[in-house]
Structure 1
């Protein structure tokens, strides 16, 4: 959920179900003649049993890519929409909806977009009404129907819900259209309240609602207005049933869309804090399988439940960070120090002229901040973080931050242990959840003191995370680049969250130096190194590269109170990296420069005199400035707008930093 599946937007094929010429490949031509054409002919047979048998046969062929592509070439979708889905036989219709659902699952997003443009939602409305009438009928009651007929209805229901989920993942426009059809949310919540609904179907309903409610405030408001719907979700969440984690996913999407946080909700207990105990209980009481189960798509399988619980916790962490940053972003430190710079990008050619004016805005902001009393500041932060004493034994009353630290993190750590990496799906989700929690904590200012107990708890867990999760992977010198990237990202978040106060084993910092050097062979070709992607590719986030993450870890580990020898070694490495300017990736330059400026921001640090001045770092940074400016000009602002803005900003910051350090040195002398 924190890393929830995005709605894919791709260039649409002209017609993904269009009928081309017969395939030229002899094998495909043979399959078409001997298997595909006969079964399609049977699907349109006047004989009921023949049609039904053909529909079932086609449903079994869909998973094979060759068969599926050939079926699409022969316009299977047109036949389904015009004939099979309106068949007089419920068996045939059910098989037809199963075919369509499976095609949507196997094909790309543009297939669903094509279905939407073929008005498939009208067909879905029709079948939904049929299902509702069958379930609500009293003549005879649903419970009195033959078991085979009940099973058929649930199979049809599952296909309709699965197709709705696939459509919802394809495009925002489709989500909006589905949300406006009152029959569909009524149908979905009706199934949650209908006692005979199987757990598997309930899970599919909840999964569909989770997708529909992604950034969908109008639908979230509709759920809230129908109080029984929200209450039903809360009941499922507390039920202890196999569907309770899925209910947490839906509730989290509602709380996020409505922007409800711990103390900003019109309904008591309607915030992410109420979900964490259920999720933690699942993590602690569900055993993962010994092997990777990527192919297992059963919603209620233990591995799928664990993955979902971890994804929801990761998403809760991200939502909390956004709430903290957008609603309560203050700097409560009063000490004189290097404070950072303006956010707006500036033309590098104008940087020198701007230096003299720097700081006037900072003085005004400091004046405003000084007007806030400490009690006001602490009250403001406590509303969001709500720190509690160590003696509080009622997790349900603790707010989200405390629960993420004290309850969720200890439950996640065993699932992130390297020994579980054989099950890569759960291991990866656990690393992601820890990563998101650590990044959220890194955005919190603990200097006011009222969060000391939480800070202490997290410091212990951060070191435990490093020792149990990060160190073993570093020691293994893994060749798995994906794992190395995930561990480096976690290491960056953890070290940053505790200001670099991590006890390292031996030469662990050099492992990240080696990872940075190794990352050079993974990056773009030299002629593309000033951008984020090759021409014609979608722009990727250049700041998520292994190289940037490695520099980020090193920058955090070198922060005060880092020992002077370690600080010197990391500082020299960062400066050596920058000495190659402008011939290094722009994102690497931004991270390395930001790290240097953060590390040596204050003259009171022990290594300021011993390293920054005695080892000539000031002169080296001055020498880097021309290369940094050249690098900035080489980043195409039309193709890489955000990257160019970040480079321009860091170059301006470097100019100001050098002036600041020179002035600071002058005062000292």
Structure 2
């Protein structure tokens, strides 16, 4: 959980706030402070209602300017808001105060939200929510009869409350738990969804807030699921065609995920992620709106936001499904080292014990196949209604083609298009990784395999090849496309049809990643940034992804010349130690193990032995061992564990290849 520094309480001063605030040393900031900040803060605390109200409006208009915002914070705007503005006798002034606070929460770092949470902002929110609810539910003065100006105040106040709840929910798990425990907040959000007179944009933001709150929140998900009316409201809202609809899909997905409701384990028929995909695919039609910006036409809804949310939810559905498949034992079997009785006898004993213990509790093969049929849709009759197709089939046949077309249509001419394009690639990436987790060798998923094989090639031809051909200098785009290429290539074994020289493009990207790493280290040495940020995943870099793609392209039945070119590249990555990043070495070794594990492949003799790979790997073993020792497991636990594993597997691999050579 994130946290903020504890407030510095000085019990020896009668009034800790009374200490004069030093003006900034920067002349520009000092001038802004004198001319704009101090006068408006003075007016905000005026005894005159009109002056206070005008000051609150002025601050709301300048708060998004970073310089003004930082100066306002420096002058303790938060204290003034809590002590005066948020409890002002005038509702319009209070509404402006909440708008200022929500804007601060949106633009500042998470520790700002933690700070105001510790200032008991939730209690203050409970009070203002009561005011809004009373205004909306009033019988004596129905809100529909109020003047437009008065209604605007209520709607602005509602917007600020919801926005602040979103920011608080994104800041810290502890805050999410606190909000979940207080029924007033969830009741308020669902109340906004239910009342027809409330503007659509507010209802959409309320649904978005619920989506944020329900993410990985089993407690709240169960509360909503137990309330049949609220669950029905979300299901009915998902097809509304606006922000409220797509975010309702997000809330439902979070509930299904938290409560593990899948096709075969949902308490109600059709209440699972599979039911959301057709709706989400419809929301992808908002991509057409991005091409109509030049005519000046505007709509109430935000097509970029709706598109982004739809793609994010589809990507999350794919990831959730992958986790479900993996937990069910359907993971692709990866290289785990070669048999070595002397080195692994204890592990083997433990594995044998585990197999015996688990025999009675695990499903038999027929049950597993039946379970997979439910997930993939192969258990359905060919004449069954299309709406009965479960999640995996919907992702491949319904979502993927539309996302491909969407990604192709975006030219990246605006920041909005680049963002949506990135999310489209991410969604396809997640779908591809999920499909790569499935073992198609059993033959009972032939329909799905056929669909996915053609879809993989289409993704490569229409999205990956054009970027490779462009020699893009956009590293973010190159990284996204390389990640997608790796996921797509994992779906088969050396069976993708690639253009001549495309493997060299990935080699070039690997070398470009090394240059970027060098520049980053140089900048961190000369500046204040740390070379490696805490929490950085070393295995998500462009270099590792490039190696991963190349390894998959070189698998049998890849042409021998392609295998040789990639094999030499991978060997050189390892041999370049100590001038190669540890994660790159680990991935290169893993790909070598996968490619050359079977001595029956044609390229075993023609490439592995003829090119002297065995000798080069043998010479590299001491350097790999030294690499492992250089990784601090306290700072890089996963990296150390995987380098340790790579050393062990390299020794086993060499022993295995040597034994097969001697036979």
Q: Tell me the distance in 1 between the aligned counterparts of 2:331 and 2:484.
A: 25
The offset of 1:206, in angstroms, is: 0.8
Pairing 1:210–2:211 present: yes
Q: 1:421 Cα deviation (Å)?
A: 2.3
Shift in CA distance, 60/235, structure 1 to aligned 2, threshold 3 Å: same
Helix, strand or coil: the match of 2:290? Answer: coil
SS in 1 for 2:215: coil
Map 1:184-223 onto structure 2 (within 5 A).
184-223=185-224
Q: Structure 1 residue 417: deviation in Å? A: 2.1
Match of 2:471 among 470, 473, 477: 477
Q: Deviations over 1:279-319 (max 9, x none)?
A: 111113542424999xxx99931111111111111111111
Whether the 8 Å CA contact 1:203–1:300 is kept in 2: the answer is: no
1:520 aligns with 2:521: no
Q: 1:291 to 1:551 in 2, by over 3 A?
A: farther
Aligned counterpart, 1:412:
403
What's the counterpart of residue 526 of structure 2? none
1:538-584 CA distance string (max 9 Å, x none) = 14111011111110000010111111111111111111111122331
- The residue aligned with 2:567 is 571
Match of 1:21 in 2: 22
**Which runs of 5 or more residues in structure 1 are unaligned?**
1-6, 344-350
CA apart distance, 1:259: 1.5
Q: Distance in 2 between matches of 1:141 and 1:55?
A: 27
> CA 1:359/1:464 → structure 2, altered by over 3 Å: closer, same or farther?
same
Which whole-Å deviations, capped at 9, do the CAs of 1:337-366 have from their partners, x for residues lacking one? x962499xxxxxxx9961677766677889
Shift of 1:534: 4.6
**Corresponding residue SS for 2:212:** helix
Going from structure 1 to structure 2, the CA distance change for 1:177 and 1:632 (only over 3 Å counts) comes to: same
1:509 aligned to 499, 503, 513, which one?
503
Measured against aligned partners, the alpha-carbon deviations of 1:265-289 in whole angstroms (never above 9, x if no partner) come to 1122221111100011111354242
What residue number does 1:549 align with? 545
Distance 2:161 2:520 in 1: 50
Query: How many Å separate the matches in 2 of 1:525 and 1:10?
Result: 32
What's the secondary structure of 1:340's corresponding residue?
coil
Match of 1:247 in 2: 248
- In structure 1, what is the equivalent of residue 280 of structure 2? 279
Q: Deviations over 1:47-94 (max 9, x none)?
A: 111111111111001011111111111111111111111111111111
The answer to whether the Cα contact below 8 Å between 2:242 and 2:306 also exists between their aligned partners in 1 is: no
Give the match for residue 629 of structure 1: 625
SS, match of residue 496 in structure 2: coil
The verdict on how the C-alpha distance between 1:569 and 1:330 changes in structure 2, with shifts beyond 3 A counting, is closer
Aligned counterparts, 1:55-94, within 5 A: 55-94=56-95
- CA positional deviation for 1:514: 1.0
For residues 107 and 395 of structure 1, the distance between their equivalents in structure 2, rounded to whole angstroms, comes to 47
Change (3 A) 1:217 1:522: same
Question: What SS does structure 2 have at the residue aligned with 1:520?
Answer: helix
2-side partners of 1:25 and 1:614: how far apart?
Answer: 68
Per-residue CA deviations over 1:639-664 (Å, capped at 9, x if unaligned) read 11110000001111111222222333
Q: 2:482 matched to 1:488?
A: yes
**Distance in 1 separating the partners of 2:210 and 2:173:** 14
* Greater relative contact order (Cα < 8 A, sep 6+): 1
Provide the residue aligned with 1:48 in structure 2. 49
Partner secondary structure for residue 516 of structure 2: coil
Say which of 339, 343, 351 aligns to 1:354. 343
**Alpha carbons of 1:355 and 1:227: their partners in 2 closer, same or farther (altered >3 Å)?**
closer
Aligned-residue offset at 1:184? 0.7
Write the deviation string for residues 99-137 of structure 1: whole angstroms up to 9, x where unpaired: 111111111111111111111111100000111111111
- For the residues of structure 2 that align with 1:471 and 1:299, how far apart are their CA atoms? 37
SS of the equivalent of 2:440 reads coil
1:10 is displaced (CA, Å) by 6.3
Match of 2:177?
A: 176
What is aligned with 2:309?
308
Checking the alignment, whether the CA contact within 8 Å between 2:335 and 2:593 is kept in structure 1 is no
In the alignment, structure 1 residue 498 sits paired with structure 2 residue 492:
yes
Q: What per-residue deviation string (whole Å, max 9, x for no partner) do you get for residues 151-196 of structure 1?
A: 2111110101100111111111111111111111111111111111
Change (3 A) 1:537 1:447: same
CA shift for structure 1 position 523: 1.5
Cα distance per residue 1:225-268 (max 9 Å; x no partner): 11111110000013344521111111111111112112111122
| Cα pair 1:105 1:166 within 8 Å, conserved | yes
Deviations 1:574-601 (A, max 9, x none): 1111112233111001100000001112
In 1: Cα distance, 2:191 partner to 2:377 partner: 37
Q: TM-score, normalised by structure 2?
A: 0.91
Give the whole-Å Cα distance in 2 for the aligned partners of 1:606 and 1:469: 32
Say which structure is richer in helix.
2
What TM-score, normalized to structure 1?
0.90
* Structure 2: unaligned runs, 5 residues or longer: 10-15, 523-528
Shift, 1:14, TM fit: 5.5
Give aligned pairs, total. 641
Equivalent-residue separation in structure 2 for 1:477 and 1:384 (angstroms): 39
Q: Distance in 2 between matches of 1:281 and 1:388?
A: 26
Change (3 A) 1:10 1:180: closer
Q: How does 1:335-346 map to 2 (within 5 A)?
A: 340-341=336-337
Whether the 8 Å CA contact 2:205–2:244 is kept in 1: the answer is no
CA contact 1:203–1:299 (8 Å) conserved in 2: no
Match of 1:320 in 2: 321
